[in-house]
């Protein structure tokens, strides 16, 4: 049971933005810009950052849904997602993406945890300032989304199948659901 | 020196927004609806106070001073009173409802799952509506993003707290959509 009177049977953030579309609109706009807008990072990599941070924040809903979106976007390379979520450092991703995920992990703890050495390591692997910026902002944004979803105890489906459809829908874009 | 080359000398989040105008719009629109929209039963001062308190817990100097000065401006108290509220809101001259909402915000800062049914029940008993509980959680969550964005990229900002106090009246008038 959610902490507030959101529409019944609707999962996660969807139930919250249906309860309060006035703020929901801007949350979805932000998600759309961060995850689907123009960026030097691929949409798949951005969804992976989102899933990685959500996992670290122990937000099952956001982790599962963004992991599902990332799997769709990686296509044949979808195994990357579960590799990263189980052991990022040993996964078969580029050293640049590892350095960016390392920064995202620091952001998850707190902004000040990110050190110049973390940034230098990412730059050494070829990360641009814009890629570092987008990584930090996506990680920070999921520290918001995760807290929003769990702070109001929204419905979290436990069946992995439920997230497959969600992932497909998310790939198409973040659109505010119709008002109840 | 920020962690990335921003190409401007603007303080805190302003420098990041000028660097990446693509995400600036969505972030400012979110701040505006959360903190300033008139269609809200929490006053602007109360909402800024939630943002200030969470920024204090996240140890974000820039955000707690910008929003602390704004909270002081709206609530008619000086920076010392704001500091006292941050340090111990239970001892402050605030409504029981605000104290209950700040307690929820404090839990959100640590992690969404830390918000308890008891905290929500206490807020309701003190007169908080579902929308007010929702907004307290979302404002707290949003500052967990803004704070990480500002500090995660190592932005710089004036250390003189009077700078923020001096700017508050103009920001209160302009809001977050008009940046000058």
- Mean pLDDT of the region B57-66: 98
Q: Are A136 and A114 in contact (CB under 8 A)?
A: yes
pLDDT above 70 coverage of chain A, percent: 99
CB contact under 8 A, B149 and A136: yes
Q: Tell me the average pLDDT across B42-46.
A: 98
Q: Please give the average per-residue pLDDT across A151-156, as a whole number.
A: 97
Q: pLDDT digits over B86-105, tens only?
A: 999 999 999 999 999 999 99
| Residue A23, CA distances (Å) to A10, A19, A31, A124, B129 in order | 18, 10, 13, 39, 16
Distance CA(B27)–CA(A34), nearest Å, equals: 10
Q: Give the model's pLDDT for residue A48.
A: 98
Any A CB within 8 A of B153 CB: yes
Residues of B in contact with A129 (CB under 8 A): 4-5, 19
Q: Cβ distance A85 to A99 under 8 Å? A: no
> What SS3 class is residue A142?
helix
CA nearest to B142, candidates A12, A140, A108, A155: A140
Residue B127 vs residues B37, B64, B107, B137, B156: alpha-carbon distances, Å: 21, 27, 19, 16, 40
Domain ranges of chain A: 42-172
Inter-CA distances, A75 with A52, A81, B134, Å: 18, 11, 37
Interface mutation vs chain A, best among B145, B146, B154, most A CBs within 10 Å = B145
The complex's ipTM works out to 0.97
CATH of domain B12-174: 1.20.1290.10
Say what the pLDDT of residue B1 is.
83
* A137/B141 Cβ within 8 A: no
State the DSSP H helix or E strand holding residue B23, giving kind and residue range, or none if neither. helix B21-35
Q: What's the average model confidence in pLDDT over B37-60?
A: 98
A2-55 pLDDT per residue, tens = 999 999 999 999 999 999 999 999 999 999 999 999 999 999 999 999 999 999
What is the average pLDDT value for chain B, to the nearest integer? 97
Q: How confident is the model at residue A180 (pLDDT cuts 50, 70, 90)?
A: low
Q: Which residue has the tokens 């990041």?
A: B16
Per-domain boundaries in chain B: 12-174
CB contact (8 A) between residue B133 and residue A3:
yes
Contact list, B140 vs chain A (CB under 8 Å): 147, 151
Asked if B127 reaches chain A (Cβ–Cβ under 8 Å), the answer is no
At the top level of CATH, the class of A42-172 is mainly alpha
Which of A106, A112, A73, A72 lies closest to A88 in space, CA to CA?
A106
Query: For residue B180, is pLDDT > 70?
Result: no
pLDDT 10s digits, A60-106: 999 999 999 999 999 999 999 999 999 999 999 999 999 999 999 99
Residues A93-149 pLDDT 10s? 999 999 999 999 999 999 999 999 999 999 999 999 999 999 999 999 999 999 999
Which candidate from A136, A140, A152 shows the least CB-CB separation from B137?
A: A152
For chain B, percent of residues with pLDDT exceeding 90: 98
Kindly list the residues from chain A whose CB atom is less than 8 angstroms away from the CB atom of residue B116: none
User: Which of A19, A110, A149 has the CB atom closest to B148's CB atom?
Assistant: A110
Question: Do A145 and B148 lie within an 8 Å CB cutoff?
Answer: no
Could you tell me if B132 lies within 8 Å of chain A, comparing CB atoms?
no
Q: What is the pLDDT of residues B122-172, one digit of tens each?
A: 999 999 999 999 999 999 999 999 999 999 999 999 999 999 999 999 999
CB contact under 8 A, B130 and A148: no
């Amino acid at each position: 049971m959610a902490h507030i009177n959101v529409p019944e049977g609707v999962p996660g953030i969807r139930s919250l933005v249906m309860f309060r579309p006035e703020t929901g609109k801007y949350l979805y706009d932000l998600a759309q810009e961060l995850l689907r807008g123009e960026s030097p990072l691929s949409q798949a990599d951005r969804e992976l950052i989102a899933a990685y941070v959500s996992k670290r924040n122990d937000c099952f809903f956001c982790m599962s849904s963004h992991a599902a979106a990332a799997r769709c976007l990686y296509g044949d390379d979808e195994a990357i997602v579960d590799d990263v979520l189980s052991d990022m450092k040993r996964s078969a991703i580029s050293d640049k993406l590892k350095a960016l995920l390392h920064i995202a992990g620091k952001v998850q703890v707190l902004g000040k945890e990110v050190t110049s050495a973390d940034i230098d390591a990412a730059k050494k692997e070829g990360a641009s300032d814009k890629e570092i910026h987008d990584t930090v902002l996506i990680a920070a944004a999921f520290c918001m989304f995760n807290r929003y979803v769990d702070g109001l105890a929204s419905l979290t489906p436990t069946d992995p199948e439920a997230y497959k459809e969600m992932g497909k829908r998310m790939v198409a874009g973040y659109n505010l659901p119709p008002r109840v | 020196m920020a962690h990335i080359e921003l190409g401007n000398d603007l303080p805190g989040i302003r420098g990041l927004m000028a660097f990446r105008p693509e995400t600036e719009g969505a972030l400012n629109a979110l701040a505006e609806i959360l903190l300033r929209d008139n269609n809200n039963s929490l006053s602007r001062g109360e909402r800024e106070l939630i943002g200030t308190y969470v920024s204090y817990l996240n140890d974000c100097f820039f955000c707690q001073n910008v929003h602390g000065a704004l909270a002081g401006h709206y609530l008619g108290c000086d920076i010392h009173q704001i500091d006292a509220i941050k340090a111990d809101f239970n001892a402050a001259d605030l409504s029981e409802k605000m104290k209950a909402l700040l307690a929820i915000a404090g839990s959100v800062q640590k992690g969404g799952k830390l918000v308890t049914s008891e905290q929500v029940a206490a807020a309701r008993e003190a007169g908080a509506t579902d929308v007010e509980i929702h907004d307290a959680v979302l404002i707290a969550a949003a500052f967990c993003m803004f704070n990480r964005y500002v500090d995660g990229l190592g932005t710089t900002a004036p250390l003189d707290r009077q700078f923020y106090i001096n700017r508050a009246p103009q920001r209160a008038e302009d809001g977050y959509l008009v940046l000058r």
